[in-house]
């Protein structure tokens, strides 16, 4: 192993890589509980989704470690799972949504092989990429507030404050406070610990029954049979092309941003600021997405939480392999996962929203031609309950307002194309 991952060249050791892998796993393992909860909204079997989420993450991490020798971990992406559950599945059913994910993965891997991903990423304005991240953050936070019962439907104002004395909101509020405290204290795995704390609180307020033995925590993983290989390609006809574009673009922006950010943290970027072997990393990401769609989970992406392991000294693919092996061990937590209520994962969604909204700091709000399309992108996602609508709105607004300002030289032709496609998304 030491020779394969070249520990000596990277000035690391097996012990360091294992510690780094454990650290990364702790910071991203919340997806084991959050993903089944979100995808379960579509009617998918939550136990099967948990198994699919874990297997896909494990294989993707190990593949990333072997193909690139980078300490980057992968799993079903936050935001992309919300897009799957609340934008794609309502139109095409979860079977159609899985088919859309598979197609987006195939498109992604073709773009990776052709070396086009970096080019596309470079011509899409940074403002829109950051606005997409921030908008998804607000959307995820809204879902968290709804799942908690803190925000409830109201006919006169669409939404209002829920009854905070009910068990559900109590669990979520206490869990949110606990998670925020752990985050403020910079505790590794704060979000995962927050979910566990919230779940135990749910026992005491009567939201969930108390466990009676070890079998309530550890047992055999759920079967994939209810969701594996159940793709409905015919249902894709009910989706616009913008839906597939959105799946590809969100994954592209998310993955490129994470790879460059984590790569810089690990000291992997070359003099031009590029990441060597980025194509292999993209291929690992795409294979994860394709495999995930086949077994029954949403789009796979590279996790920014990988930087936590890098901070602990992880410098090679051994870190990613350790993360993958830990995911496999987590398969046997299926009984405990079934006890985690939506109110216990809601704080995780809200905290992830907080982290994602931070992308607005890179948007120049002093320049109206940047601020307007960014605001349209961000606002449309929660207000229309659709990530695709937000992306399409931003792609239309950006070239339009730049043209009005006489700044057409700042617009790449590809952005005009995206704007035209986005118009058909709304009127098609």
Residue 7 domain-assigned (yes or no): no
Do the beta carbons of residue 117 and residue 260 sit within 8 Å? no
Residue 30 domain-assigned (yes or no): yes
Domain of residue 93 covers 14-427
Residue 233 domain-assigned (yes or no): yes
Q: What does the pLDDT profile of the chain (428 residues) look like in tens digits?
A: 888 999 999 899 999 999 999 999 999 999 999 999 999 999 999 999 999 999 999 999 999 999 999 999 999 999 999 999 999 999 999 999 999 999 999 999 999 999 898 888 889 999 999 999 999 999 999 999 999 999 999 999 999 999 999 999 999 999 999 999 999 999 999 999 999 999 999 999 999 888 888 888 899 999 999 999 999 999 988 787 888 889 999 999 889 988 988 888 888 888 877 889 899 999 999 999 999 999 999 999 999 999 999 999 999 999 999 999 999 999 998 888 889 999 999 999 999 999 999 999 999 999 999 999 999 999 999 999 999 999 999 999 999 999 999 999 999 999 999 999 999 888 86
Residue 115 domain-assigned (yes or no): yes
Residue 371 domain-assigned (yes or no): yes
Q: 């897009």: which residue's tokens?
A: 83
Q: pLDDT tens digit string along 289-320?
A: 999 999 999 999 999 999 999 999 999 999 99
Kind of pairing, strands 74-76 and 300-302?
antiparallel
How many Å apart are CA 152 and CA 382, to the nearest integer? 14
Residue 208 domain-assigned (yes or no): yes
Residue 361 domain-assigned (yes or no): yes
Q: Please state the three-class secondary structure of 72-106 as a single string.
A: CCEEECCCHHHHHHHHHHHHHHHHHHHHHHHHHHH
- Token pair in block for residue 166: 């009910």
Per the structure, the count of domains in the chain is 1
Q: Is 283 helix (H, G, I), strand (E, B) or coil?
A: helix
Residue 97 domain-assigned (yes or no): yes
């Amino acid at each position: 192993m030491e020779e394969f991952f070249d520990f000596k060249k990277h000035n690391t050791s097996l012990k360091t890589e294992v510690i780094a892998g454990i650290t990364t796993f702790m910071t991203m393992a919340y997806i084991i509980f959050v993903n089944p909860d979100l995808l379960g909204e579509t009617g998918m079997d939550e136990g099967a989704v948990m198994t699919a989420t874990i297997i896909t993450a494990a294989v993707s991490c190990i593949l990333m470690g072997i193909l690139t020798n980078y300490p980057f971990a992968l799993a079903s992406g936050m935001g992309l799972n919300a897009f799957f559950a609340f934008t794609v599945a309502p139109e095409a059913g979860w079977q159609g949504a899985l088919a859309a994910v598979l197609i987006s993965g195939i498109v992604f891997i073709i773009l990776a092989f052709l070396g086009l991903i970096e080019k596309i990423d470079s011509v899409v304005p940074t403002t829109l990429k950051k606005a997409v991240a921030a908008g998804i953050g607000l959307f995820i936070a809204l879902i968290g507030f709804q799942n908690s019962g803190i925000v409830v439907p109201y006919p006169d104002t669409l939404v209002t404050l829920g009854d905070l004395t009910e068990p559900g909101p109590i669990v979520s509020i206490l869990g949110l406070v606990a998670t925020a405290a752990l985050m403020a204290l910079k505790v590794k795995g704060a979000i995962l610990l927050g979910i566990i704390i919230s779940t135990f609180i749910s026992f005491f307020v009567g939201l969930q029954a108390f466990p009676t033995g070890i079998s309530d925590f550890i047992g055999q993983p759920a079967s994939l049979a209810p969701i594996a290989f159940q793709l409905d390609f015919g249902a894709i006809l009910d989706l616009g092309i913008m839906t597939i574009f959105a799946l590809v673009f969100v994954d592209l922006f998310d993955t490129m941003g994470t790879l460059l950010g984590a790569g810089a943290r690990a000291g992997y970027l070359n003099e031009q600021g590029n990441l060597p072997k980025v194509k292999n990393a993209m291929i690992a990401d795409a294979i994860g997405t394709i495999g995930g769609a086949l077994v029954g989970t949403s789009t796979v992406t590279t996790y920014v939480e990988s930087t936590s392991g890098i901070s602990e000294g992880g410098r090679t693919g051994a870190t990613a392999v350790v993360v993958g092996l830990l995911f496999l061990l987590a398969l046997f937590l299926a009984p405990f996962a079934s006890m985690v209520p939506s109110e216990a994962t809601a704080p995780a969604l809200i905290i992830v929203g907080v982290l994602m909204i931070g992308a607005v700091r890179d948007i120049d709000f002093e320049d109206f031609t940047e601020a307007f399309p960014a605001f349209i992108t961000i606002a449309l996602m929660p207000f229309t309950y659709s990530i695709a609508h937000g992306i399409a709105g931003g792609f239309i607004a950006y070239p339009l307002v730049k043209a009005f300002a006489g700044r057409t030289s700042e617009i790449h032709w590809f952005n005009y194309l995206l704007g035209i496609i986005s118009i058909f998304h709304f009127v098609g």
